[in-house]
Amino acid sequence: MPAVFPQQITLLGATGSIGANTLDVISRHPERYSVFALTAHRAAGRLAELCLQFSPRYAVMADRSAAKELKGLLQAGQCATTVLEGEQALCEVASASETDVVMAAIVGAAGLKPTLAAVTAGKKVLLANKEALVMSGQLFMDAVEASDCCLYPIDSEHNAIFQCLPGGFRRRPEADGIRRILLTASGGPFLNTLPEKLAAITPEEACAHPIWSMGRKISVDSATMMNKGLEVIEAHWLFGAPPDRIEVVIHPQGIVHSMVDYIDGSVLAQLGTPDMRIPIANALAWPERIASGASALDLFDIATLSFERPDFGRFPCLSLAYRALEAGGSMPAALNAANEEAVAAFLDGRLGFCRIADVIAATLERHGWPEAETLEAVLEIDAHARSVACEEICKRGMA
């Protein structure tokens, strides 16, 4: 059925970089999109500004004290937006009958429940929260298939793959003549840093990505290349490709966002400037194309595109992600939990940069949980792996 406009958008994670880019695209097309709900964790001041600008029906704060602060700010600004609080409220706005489209942009495990709520309710879901699939891949995709949910990837790499796939693709790569999924990676800020200097890396250095503007957690993941590892796992679930058919390609220019290699020798690639508004606009309007606000790509200005294989010795987190995916079961969930705790410790100055991979590896070694068949089991595994990771962080610290 053709879309009825304006479509009502619920934006989970409105104050992050994906949220900002989504609202920018939406603001360019007021005849097509209207904001139904905006959510945030603790950034009450920023969410209040967005409520005054976009006038959503609901604003949800995950944190109770932040919700109280937001209410005061909106009352002072004479804004009629209703303020809700807590995880259940996130799930309610994601699955509300008025919601047409859900942008799932909450970072980390916190986004799993509301994203699954949107999927189960059969919404059009724009998935920017890769951790949801990493934690609960089979459970998540089963929910997608059981509902009327239309799932569109927002990570620039997965959106690029989506654009290079044949029409009607149903997660059976071999049936469609697909040989490999080629995930490009910039290599992050330490691609050419001498290995002996990595131990002294600071959070500020790790968050200074050479191409993309991202949140601090994702920036660190990019620096360790765990972000690419998580994307390998996400690609497995989104596109049905086994681990040995998903290959990471270092591409420092960040222009080719990913590629699909076909058995006839064709390689289809999606190119564009490194601007997240491109995949957001693509997913919002698919199968139509709308203006995103991104600059046009000038190939003559770029002149050179280069590609190289990743160094798994330099980036052990990438190797750990492949190992977790190959092991299957709940290993990817444990990997994600350990990574989140290790990155948080690094950003807080409690863990050295090179120790992030050590904590994750040790957590996986101690993990013996089976497949997680329910959401409750996924969350229990997540909590257990976090506890183990925290023990490993205490052992290692800044050494």
Are 344 and 395 found together in one domain? yes
Are 230 and 315 found together in one domain? yes
Range of 346's domain? 328-399
Are 162 and 270 found together in one domain? yes
Average pLDDT over residues 218-243: 96
Are 201 and 308 found together in one domain? yes
Are 175 and 294 found together in one domain? yes
Write down the pTM of the prediction.
0.93
Cis peptide leading into residue 6 (ω within 30°): yes
Nearest to 61 by CA among 77, 80, 36, 82: 82
In the listed set 292, 319, 346, which residue is the last one of a domain according to the structure? 319
Chain segment 32-51, per-residue pLDDT in tens = 999 999 999 999 999 999 99
Local structure of 284: helix, strand or coil:
helix
Model pLDDT, residue 148:
84
CB atoms under 10 Å from CB of 226, counted, come to: 27
Average pLDDT over residues 120-141: 94
- pLDDT of 214 strictly over 90: no
CA distance 192 to 199: 14
HSE value, Cβ hemisphere, 13 Å, CA-based, for 362: 18
Output 334 or 368, whichever has higher pLDDT: 334
Average pLDDT over residues 109-118: 94
For residue 242, give the amino acid letter: P
Q: Name the pLDDT band for 212 (thresholds 50, 70, 90).
A: confident
CA distance 107 to 154: 13
Phi and psi dihedrals of 360, rounded to 5?
A: -65, -45
Average pLDDT over residues 196-223: 88
Output 275 or 213, whichever has higher pLDDT: 275
Are 306 and 207 found together in one domain? yes
* Length of the chain as a residue count: 399
Find the CATH number of the domain harbouring 118.
3.40.50.720
Are 334 and 314 found together in one domain? no
DSSP 217-257: HHHHHHHHTHHHHHHHHHHHHHH---GGGEEEEE-TT--EE
In the listed set 125, 153, 181, which residue is the last one of a domain according to the structure? 153
Are 261 and 146 found together in one domain? no
Are 287 and 365 found together in one domain? no
In the listed set 288, 319, 350, which residue is the last one of a domain according to the structure? 319
Are 129 and 276 found together in one domain? no
Are 127 and 247 found together in one domain? no
Average pLDDT over residues 148-166: 96
Phi and psi dihedrals of 330, rounded to 5?
A: -100, 10
Identify whether 169 is part of a domain: yes
Q: In terms of DSSP bridges, do strands 256-262 and 267-271 run parallel, antiparallel, or are they unpaired?
A: antiparallel
Identify whether 1 is part of a domain: no
Output 292 or 195, whichever has higher pLDDT: 292
Alpha-carbon dihedral sign for residues 214, 215, 216, 220 = negative
Distances 177 to 202, 297, 374 between C-alpha atoms, Å: 45, 29, 34
Q: Tell me the H-state helices in 167-225.
A: 203-206, 216-224
Identify whether 366 is part of a domain: yes
Model pLDDT, residue 2:
65
Average pLDDT over residues 126-142: 93
Chain segment 8-30, per-residue pLDDT in tens = 999 999 999 999 999 999 999 99
Are 93 and 234 found together in one domain? no
Chain segment 84-110, per-residue pLDDT in tens = 999 999 999 999 999 999 999 998 889
Percent of the chain with pLDDT over 90: 87
CA distance 310 to 64: 43
Identify whether 2 is part of a domain: no
If 0-12 CB within 10 Å is exposed, 13-18 middle and 19+ buried, where does residue 370 land?
A: exposed
Model pLDDT, residue 109:
85
Average pLDDT over residues 354-374: 92
Model pLDDT, residue 396:
83
Average pLDDT over residues 334-347: 97
Average pLDDT over residues 357-368: 96
Find the CATH number of the domain harbouring 365.
1.10.1740.10
Q: Tell me the H-state helices in the chain.
A: 17-27, 44-54, 64-76, 87-95, 112-120, 130-146, 156-164, 203-206, 216-224, 226-239, 277-285, 299-302, 316-327, 331-347, 355-366, 375-396
Percent of the chain with pLDDT over 70: 99
Model pLDDT, residue 233:
98
Chain segment 266-311, per-residue pLDDT in tens = 999 999 999 999 999 999 999 999 999 999 999 999 989 999 999 9
Number of domains in the chain: 3
Mean of the per-residue pLDDT values for the chain?
95
Alpha-carbon dihedral sign for residues 342, 344, 350, 354 = positive
Average pLDDT over residues 120-146: 95
Identify whether 179 is part of a domain: yes
Model pLDDT, residue 399:
59
